[in-house]
Structure 1
Amino acid sequence: MTYESETWSFTASRMRMLKVAQRAMERAMLGVSLRGRLKNEDIRSRTKVTDKAQRISMLKWQWAGYIARRTDNRWGRKVIEWQPRTGRRSVRRPPTRWSDDLVRHARSQWMQVAPDCALWQSLGETFVQ
């Protein structure tokens, strides 16, 4: 379920779909139907499964730090720093980019903050929440 999730750009609808899928899998593990009217917290406490949305957020944060600390000029950093030829994005609401939630959380200097591992980890803990 989390394969290659570090490279996904997350929207609210995509996160909601992941949470719904995880809850459905947990219900299937316990053999409980929706008619049972058990709360999600009760099901989570029975299955002892970690929240996949938080796990995916943590994986993405770790991957972003790894890419930002790289110095070997490989494609990952070049893709992140790429700008469109026109310098502008499309009119209306543009699609969510991979780095948009990182910028929203750690400001636009997230690539300069990443080499400081202690600061990066403390920011990561709040990013996952």
Structure 2
Amino acid sequence: MMLGITRFTQVRAGIRSSTLRQQPKIKDAAAHAKLSKIRWAGHVMRFSDNRWTRAVSNWTPRDVRRTTGRLPIRWSDFFTKSFKDRYDALRVPRTDTIHWTTLARERDKWKDCWRPLGIPEDQRESSAHNY
């Protein structure tokens, strides 16, 4: 249900999904999933104890064979590729040499890496406020 409109009502009224997506309250599902994955990774990497969640996230199976045509990709490869796609030398210095797990351990640096590109430096929520 998007914006309180059921699929039945949407079809009956002839409203296209693309029209509903343009409404300000609608978030792109793929972008939301990506952001949730990024937030979860930052949360897991900041664990200071040896929980199984972190161990499983870093685990690479050695004896598992993927089906033909599928590359052996790990959960962490998503972040490595995303950093390469999103690299901005002014925002995240030395991102190409800093491993993503190191950045994820510091919350402010991790947020800076993934905040939307259009937000000016002085308006981001992680900056200190002087009252």
Alpha-carbon separation, structure 2, partners of 1:68 and 1:47: 32
* Aligned sequence identity (%): 30
Aligned to 2:103: 113
Post-superposition shift, 1:46?
4.7
Q: Secondary structure at the match of 1:94?
A: coil
CA contact (8 A) 2:46 2:104 kept: yes
Alpha-carbon separation, structure 1, partners of 2:70 and 2:23: 41
TM, length-normalised to structure 1: 0.57
CA contact (8 A) 1:67 1:77 kept: yes
Instruction: State the one-letter code of the partner of 2:102.
Output: Q
Alpha-carbon separation, structure 2, partners of 1:45 and 1:30: 19
Cα gap change, 1:37 to 1:96, in 2 (>3 Å):
farther
Instruction: State the one-letter code of the partner of 2:110.
Output: W
Q: Is 1:51 aligned to residue 28 of structure 2?
A: yes
Question: Which of 11, 32, 41 in structure 2 is aligned with 1:33?
Answer: 11
Instruction: State the one-letter code of the partner of 2:100.
Output: W
1:49-93 Cα distance to aligned partner (Å, 9 max, x none): 33332222222111100111112101111112223346x965752
TM, length-normalised to structure 2: 0.56
Instruction: State the one-letter code of the partner of 1:121.
Output: K
Structure 2 unaligned segments of length 5 or more: list them.
Answer: 85-97, 118-131
Aligned to 1:76: 53
Q: Secondary structure at the match of 2:115?
A: helix
Q: Secondary structure at the match of 1:33?
A: helix
Which is higher, the Rg of structure 1 or of structure 2?
Answer: 2
Q: Secondary structure at the match of 1:70?
A: coil
